[in-house]
Copies of this chain bind each other. A is one copy, B any other.
């Protein structure tokens, strides 16, 4: 069915009313954007978007991303009006209150119809790029009859100004992601005032320069909106539609001004708005006829979905697509068997190279793994032999050349994981995780299976110097909730950590890997890394010291232990590839590894800041001892740096003896 224009205006006003009333009830929120973009969103949902409110997780639905997430009442209104089970009207009444799924910004983990969490500006567009990439990849793999959908985005000036968005549009243009359509809320207002205070860009020209199509429309003229969205839908390029709007459209005394951006309208202006838009209904009351028009939109989608379900059932690829979209890994224990064989190999190898070896086992077995690097493929060792390039000529490729765009890559990986059907992993130097830090946080908050391969993980990278040497980086990543930070010590732990990362469906992972070679330290045991930490070497004689180390410093800890044992001092070595997983163990296991006995001296060794290690060492003899690097590094060969900064047996053993002697 197609709704005539005269039916659209009241539908759009329903969004305006719900938005202004919910913000007023909460006495907090952003009415300007939902009111300004109500007309555009109504046309999008009425005429273009493919969705079925009864099946929010339908694999072949169009994705809709509200990148300007502060305008959250827009999407809550749309989902409720079109008949999604969530949010209810009660949720909307409790906008921004504890327990309501209608949070201040849309959260993917609270409402199924919210495709991604879009609080931080710019990342919504960048995640949408990832969704569009996943769509093209799955379409190339499973065929257009099973995968054939668009990704629609609503973005504001803030999104467009952020650097991550620039990275995202450059990537989308290069990859010719024609299924990506961005509707720009061109209201010429930012929080500080007129957008001209801080920007003078010719935005259409900039997008065209990046390989995009650009169309424009009057964002309050339904026919013009439909014309422009139709052109966007027909384009085979990623497309920007500049929708000229009045922020807060409908509020007679405030529309077009920046005061309406982020504060309730107030009772008087709300009354004036009701008058102005002809909305004679009580707060949160939607007339049945208008609601029926909204609800009717789902019918088209339900029909399309039924047809798709039939195609899926008939396809010999249906089961595989269903498995992938469910996020279930392929069955079989081939990888585990291969890795078990490595125990006997005595391989000395950098963990970045070990990671490549692991990938060459896993990538052929797990076809949904989609790798890449931010222009450091040969350094991050992220490309498996079986992977060819993912590009506009071949979307079935499984390796993405992201370019020098760490943040854009990371946000795109979030979008891919949220889209489903692929498991994204991507590499850069560990230090440049700083550039992508908020996307990593968003992986964690959104509970996505994204795997960050972060190599060159300490001063062990050597000559490139302090700008490239992570010092605080590993510990700072450990502070992010719901993120597993792995720092494996050898090829065995690297294989284990990769497996854990793949199996963690709702927790992203960081693999912090060395540039330099490390000996194999483990020759027995299965999946010991899964407990986060374990005793790698046991004290002989009475245990007086426990050395806790990670990654490249485990080798050093073993040497320190041998030196202590040589002096008759019993010492354990605990390898701790993942603090977070160790923290999650029960008290009995934790005390087995780190006994609650303050007479034992606990010593941490890690080539990074010591702050944070006290959690594991301070409740110990004389407050414990932390060997680390509490300053920036320097430019020199790795071996020289480790010596200079005290990461040697000769430098560490005397400190331990002194602590023991007090």
> Residues on A close to B: CB < 8 A?
26, 28-29, 69-70, 96-100, 103-105, 107, 117-122, 157-158, 161-167, 170-171, 173-174, 190-193, 197-203, 205-206, 208-211, 373, 375-379, 389, 391, 401-405, 407-408, 431-432, 434-435, 437-438, 441-442, 444-445, 462-468, 471-472, 475-476, 478-482, 609, 611-612, 614-615, 618-619, 623-624, 630-632, 634-637, 640-641, 644
Contact = CB atoms under 8 A, between A and B. Distances in A.
A119 B466 contact: yes
Nearest to A609: B479
Contact of A173 (B107, B170, B201, B481): B201
A69 B467 contact: yes
Q: Is the interface of A mostly helix, strand, loop or mixed?
A: loop
15 contacts: A97-B637, A104-B468, A107-B467, A121-B404, A162-B167, A162-B404, A163-B166, A193-B401, A198-B402, A198-B405, A200-B210, A205-B205, A475-B479, A476-B476, A479-B612
A378 B262 CA distance: 11
B441 A190 contact: no
Contacts of A465: 96, 103-105, 107, 119
Nearest to A101: B635
A98 B644 contact: yes
Contacts of A467: 69, 105, 107, 117-120, 442, 445
A240 to B, nearest CB: 13
Contact of A404 (B157, B442, B618, B630): B157
Nearest to A612: B612
Nearest to A480: B472
A98 B641 contact: yes
Contacts of A164: 163, 435
Contacts of A632: 444-445, 481-482
B463 A104 contact: yes
B635 A104 contact: yes
A636 B210 contact: no
A95 to B, nearest CB: 9
A629 to B, nearest CB: 9
Contacts of A624: 619
A375 B209 contact: no
A445 B623 CA distance: 30
Which interface residue of A157, A431, A437 has the most chain B CB atoms within 10 A? A437
Contacts of A205: 205-206, 208-209
A321 to B, nearest CB: 29
Given A432-B120, A434-B441, A463-B96, A478 B611 contact: yes
B200 A174 contact: yes
Contacts of A376: 191-192
A609 B477 CA distance: 12
Contacts of A100: 635
Contacts of A634: 98, 103
Instruction: Give the 9 A-B residue pairs with the shortest CB-CB distance, closest first.
Output: A119-B467, A163-B163, A198-B403, A618-B618, A166-B166, A103-B635, A98-B636, A472-B479, A205-B209
A266 to B, nearest CB: 17
Nearest to A471: B481
Contact of A437 (B105, B118, B437, B623): B437
